[in-house]
Amino acid sequence: MMGMPTFDASRMLSFDLETTSANPREARIVTSALVRIDGSSVSATEHLADPGVEIPPQAAAIHGISTEKARAEGRPHDDVLRETVETIKQAWDEGFTLIVFNAPYDLTVLRALTGDFTVTGPVYDPLLIDRAMDRYRKGGKRNLGALSDYYGVQLENAHEATADAMAAARIAWKQVKKVWPELAEKELDELMEFQAVKNFEIQTDFRKYCESRGRDTSGIATAWPMIS
């Protein structure tokens, strides 16, 4: 009997959003990048959207896109949203794995904006995999820049969506090809379940830690790959 396919790092769609807010339930898209890796062929599409709202200074400071630039050069927000979702769904239909660094953020943004986005194919989250496989590593942050350094991959332009998506794909490739090849042996549904369980454990422990110090835990979500 044939098993489910395993994660094939030569067929990935890496996805990254830059947005108006750190809260996925209120964020609107500023840029959406989709990097498709099919064997040796790599193609990138980046959409600049007019989010239809002011881009707060703290968000513009991260991704470098002002309200004025988005209004002048961006495409209608609904068009960018629709094309992003269509590209993701099509990649899943073709058997690609979606690579999303910190998946619960970007995928929850899509759900909040569409009202009905669902995950219908495999997701691989290089940030979560790093936390799950090397949880107690000493020192430092685990943002995309830090992990790019750690795995020795190039990050051309941090917080420029296409560069971020490329770096996430390279990290994913390194993780399954070089560092933890056992991940590539898991069937895709098993790999999805592994990530969901690990995320639940890590976030639950973090919540307990914050509670023990009297900190607000309302923003700590245990669901993966999307915050319900």
Per-residue pLDDT tens over the stretch 183-210: 999 999 999 999 999 999 999 999 999 9
pLDDT tens-digit profile of 83-96? 999 999 999 999 99
Distance CA 201, CA 222 (A): 8
Distance CA 221, CA 227 (A): 7
pLDDT at 139 over 50: yes
Per the CB < 8 A criterion, the answer to whether 161 and 138 are in contact is no
Question: What's the whole-number mean pLDDT along residues 113-141?
Answer: 94
Q: Enter the pTM of the model.
A: 0.94
Position 177 scores a pLDDT of 94
pLDDT at 218 over 90: no
Tokens 């996925």 map to which residue? 24
Residues contacting residue 64 through CB under 8 Å, at least 6 positions apart: 159, 160
- Structure tokens belonging to residue 70: 């988005």
Per the CB < 8 A criterion, the answer to whether 223 and 195 are in contact is no
Per the CB < 8 A criterion, the answer to whether 80 and 105 are in contact is no
